[in-house]
Amino acid sequence: MLGIRYLKVPATNYVLLYQGGTIRKHGAGLSLFYFAPTSVIALVPINSVDVPFAFTEVSSDFQEVTVQGTLTYRIRDAIQIASLLDYTVDVRQRYQSDDPSKLGERLVQAAQAGARAFIQSRPLKAVLVSSVELVESVAEALRGSETIGQLGIDVLSVAIASLKPHPEMAKALQAQAREQLLKQADEAIYERRNTAVELERTIRENELSTEIAVAQKRRQVRETEMQAEIAVEHQRAELVDSRVANQQKESAARAAALEAMLKPVRDVDWRTLLAMQGAVQPATLISSAFDQLASNAEKIGQLNISPDLLATLLNRGQE
């Protein structure tokens, strides 16, 4: 029949059939016939959509930061958004306005507003290392946006792919970071050398302590040996003293015995003793006689000894 059309859409599209300015039929993935001259069809995609974004903001220290990422959303209330934006299509299911294509731009603008508030409150270095905080700030800004709430849109996720400063500033930061890393490397080498020196000193101190302990032990051994030698010498001295005392006692005993033996004959003339022993020689008697004559010379008036007498006496003495 002329003017009657058939419409079949996938489940990811929400169909709204308007007739006379009133919604006659609506639902996701409907199949229906409609009279084209008096009907208006609106197709609202209700699947999740990824919207890439890239924008540049200025940090609190007036440095440019380029933010690149993706946000994912889906239309929660198709009827509400269809009442605010034009989602009508022609018989070939082509949108008759650019409102559907501009929805992503509106979301990106809202995300940029949230990112701007975060970036402008922090210096460049803090921004470059705060991607997680930036994602949370952008997601919170999107969820709190009145415009997105009125459109009936749910923001599913926000992802930040990169945070890039100006190329010249990036080189400067890289150079600064490189110098810092080199400094840390030098400090690590210095610490390692200090640790090695400290360990070497500890080892040397332990060796010296060991040597001192060994020397003390050796000294103790030597002192013990010397004490033992001193004790031996003391014993030897005591032994010598005992021997000397014993010898003195023996000598005293011998002297006393000799004294007792000689006392009876101390006043006896030696010639008498010799005569008593029968060991007197004629020559001895003659010499004794001449000795007595010599000792009593003052009493002798005249003594004549002829050579013949002297020779006779000597010859007898030799016999």
Positive or negative torsion for Cα 96, 100, 105, 106: positive
pLDDT at 244: 86
Q: Residues 137, 156: contact at Cβ < 8 Å?
A: no
pTM of the model: 0.56
pLDDT digits (tens, 9 = 90+) for 265-319: 666 665 666 666 555 566 666 666 666 666 666 666 666 666 766 666 666 545 5
38 contacts: CB under 8 Å, gap ≥ 6: 19, 20
pLDDT digits (tens, 9 = 90+) for 153-192: 999 999 999 999 988 988 888 888 888 888 988 899 989 9
- 239: amino acid identity, one letter: L
142 contacts: CB under 8 Å, gap ≥ 6: 71, 107, 110, 111, 114, 148, 155, 158
Q: What six digits make up the tokens of 85? A: 């934006």
The residue ranges of the chain whose pLDDT is under 50 are: 317
pLDDT at 250: 87
Q: What six digits make up the tokens of 94? A: 């082509």
pLDDT at 268: 63
Domains, the chain, ordered by start: 47-165 (3.30.479.30)
Q: What six digits make up the tokens of 134? A: 């930036």
pLDDT at 313: 61
Strand partners, 14: 28, 44
Q: What six digits make up the tokens of 296? A: 């009593």
pLDDT at 296: 65
